[in-house]
Amino acid sequence: MPPDAPPFVLPFSGNPLDRAGDRRADPAWLAGRREAPEARFLLLWRGQPLLEGEAGEENTSLAFVGSGTVAALGAAAEETVFLGLDGETPIFARDVSALDEPLAALAPGLKGSGHFRDARECLPLLAAPQLAILAQAKALIDWHARHPFCSRCGAKTEAADSGYRRRCGACGTDHFPRTDPCVIMLVVKEGACLLARNKRFGVAHTYSTLAGFMEPGESIEDAVRREVFEEAGIETGAVRYFGTQPWPFPASLMIGCYAEAATHDIRIDGNEIIAARWLERAIVRRLIAGEDFEDVKLPRRQAIAYHLIRNWAEQ
């Protein structure tokens, strides 16, 4: 039987920062932290974080710049959000998407070389704590970029509470960052698991777990059973929680589960899912070990789907 929780930290989780939720609504305290000489800023340009080193380097890390560098950008830098405290060091994220040539503008403040890289490409490159900080920063910056106007009256909104709220000055409505819950589940039955190919995978032969967004009024268990039946025609019974993974593309929370199948015959929806098959545990173990098996490839190791599969295969 799969354990209830993973014995490790999933990528994008395990954020090491103290978010200081009891202080960040204090404008004076926040201003002091933002202007402090020890303050550090993670810059994002059109969703891409600034990394140390040259583009293409494998061993790299997030690049944090000082408050002087950010101040020199002036109006070119857009939204700033407070991420938390690393000990006594305040950490912020800043959107610099308005810059056409961000590296040229930042060059005077960089200690060495740097480059912006797609956040998905950072998955195998960054240490777990930095991935978690990146997830927080990217999700917040994306939310601000997508919600400049009030959904109630259409007026322009302004950021508040260090970036964790937007306030409409016209109607007084408060808007808060959203996280979209998504269930992701490995369906298991009698020593086999159900893996499927989504049409979004393109020509890749990746087989993964089923997944889908939760709908209003659903429990996690209800969402798991509905999604499995809609996508694969399988009826499921018991649902067991595994773990969660923040997924900042743009701001989802992947809720990992195991679902016990009550039926066996597969009926794919033909819309999202283009192929599905049962694989025995021994075959899955071979795939995890790097062996080839027909046209099946497992998902990337940084995704919760892979850990659901591996955790089950090791039982």
Please determine, for residue 56, whether its predicted confidence score (pLDDT) is greater than 80.
no
Lowest model confidence (mean pLDDT) among 27-41, 102-116, 275-289? 102-116
SS3 state of residue 133: helix
Instruction: Flag whether pLDDT at 6 surpasses 70.
Output: no
Q: Residue 170: its pLDDT value, please?
A: 98
Rounded to two decimals, the pTM is 0.92
- Which among 108, 75, 11, 86 is positioned nearest to 41, based on CA atoms? 86
Band of pLDDT at residue 270, cut at 50, 70 and 90 = confident
Indicate left, alpha or beta for 12 from its phi (over 0: left) and psi (-120 to 50: alpha): left
Q: What average pLDDT score do residues 99-123 get?
A: 87
Looking at residue 8, its pLDDT comes to: 65
**pLDDT the model gives residue 75:** 67
Note the Cα 169 to chain centre separation in Å.
31
Percentage above 90 pLDDT, the chain:
81
Q: What are phi and psi of 137, to 5 degrees?
A: -65, -45
Identify the bridge partners of residue 156 per DSSP, sorted by sequence position.
Answer: 149
pLDDT at 1: 45
pLDDT-derived band of residue 7, with 50, 70 and 90 as boundaries? Answer: low
Interatomic CA distance for residues 63 and 110, integer angstroms: 9
* Domains observed in the chain: 27-146 (3.90.79), 147-177 (no CATH), 180-313 (3.90.79.10)
User: How large is the average pLDDT for residues 29-42?
Assistant: 95
pLDDT band at 122 (very low <50, low <70, confident <90, very high): very high
